[in-house]
Structure 1
């Protein structure tokens, strides 16, 4: 699956928007990648699963709740690899686990996430997985906004790999859009 094919799939799902947007980490941006549009579009979801499948080895997969769950589920189906879900916080009921699913001590896990801006959600997920006994070295994301996630992840001994970058998505952005803002 080529980068151009993935960019086309994201655009066909109408997931790239231009305007003034507040981001989850509190910053603002002149563009927004709507994960709910690309994660609910069957064609785009299939393209993402195929691209992730090319990049995972024979490892357990982990999806970051909530956005990474549909991505890890379709990647699991595409590859036949099992997965777990890493929660952002413990629930006060049920098992109260931060990691849901079957995970063995020392098992290698690759984290799958939707969009990386600062990378904090992926860092939190990796830490929860490590506390549960997993070996986590890689984070795969659909879009790297190129706003520091790679550096933040590296500081936690995690390698970031993205299917597409902000530069890929915004190569032909409207002239009045400052993609660096």
Structure 2
């Protein structure tokens, strides 16, 4: 379990945990992006794109990465990372520690400049890859590969909800710091 750095941020985190439990955890038979089967699904897009949760997500995730030195931008594999990166971007400006955002496409565009990485210029800069939920870590690691090819220096992967099913080990094996705002214990769920 992670605890936020201030009582106000911890209150935001607890409110987000309650919203996730009430509105973003679905029970049934699901196939996750990793291909794994699960009896519950945490649909964070319901909340990363919700006006009630997005500001708190920005504050919580900015707090989560606060101790990483020299980070210039946040982002990750589209679509899950996009609203998180935007929430962090807006909160970082409000907090007086501005960060830029980037988007990693799953494939390079087949038109225009043919880019796979959009947004902030990240070559030579320290960046954090963000994700809504993590199972195996493969989605953020795909983003890390693209970022490294573009000359960025990924330093961490930060996720809102860690399913505790191997993502942390995979990310750390790639030489990155692992950060999670909420885990299954917080949600009263068991790893699958």
TM-score (normalised: structure 1): 0.88
Verify: 1:7 aligned to 2:17, yes or no: yes
| Residue 37 (structure 1) aligns with | 46
Mapped partners of 2:83, 2:143: distance in 1? 16
Match of 1:138, SS? strand
Match of 2:52, SS? helix
| Native 8 Å contact 2:34 2:138 kept in 1 | no
| Native 8 Å contact 2:131 2:157 kept in 1 | yes
Mapped partners of 1:63, 1:122: distance in 2? 6
| Native 8 Å contact 2:27 2:41 kept in 1 | yes
Show structure 1 runs of 4+ deviating over 4 A.
Answer: none
Mapped partners of 2:122, 2:57: distance in 1? 27
TM-aligned CA distance change 1:53 to 1:104, over 3 Å: closer
- Shift in Å, 1:133: 0.8
Aligned mate of 1:147, from 165, 179, 183: 165
Q: Unaligned regions of 5+ residues in structure 2, if any?
A: 1-8, 94-98
Match of 2:46, SS? helix
Verify: 1:47 aligned to 2:60, yes or no: no
| Residue 121 (structure 2) aligns with | 103
- Shift in Å, 1:101: 1.8
Count of residues in Structure 1 that have an aligned counterpart in Structure 2: 173
| Residue 161 (structure 1) aligns with | 179
| C-alpha distance after superposition, 1:86-115 (max 9, x if no partner) | 122112112211211232431111111111
Q: Unaligned regions of 5+ residues in structure 1, if any?
A: 174-178
TM-score (normalised: structure 2): 0.83
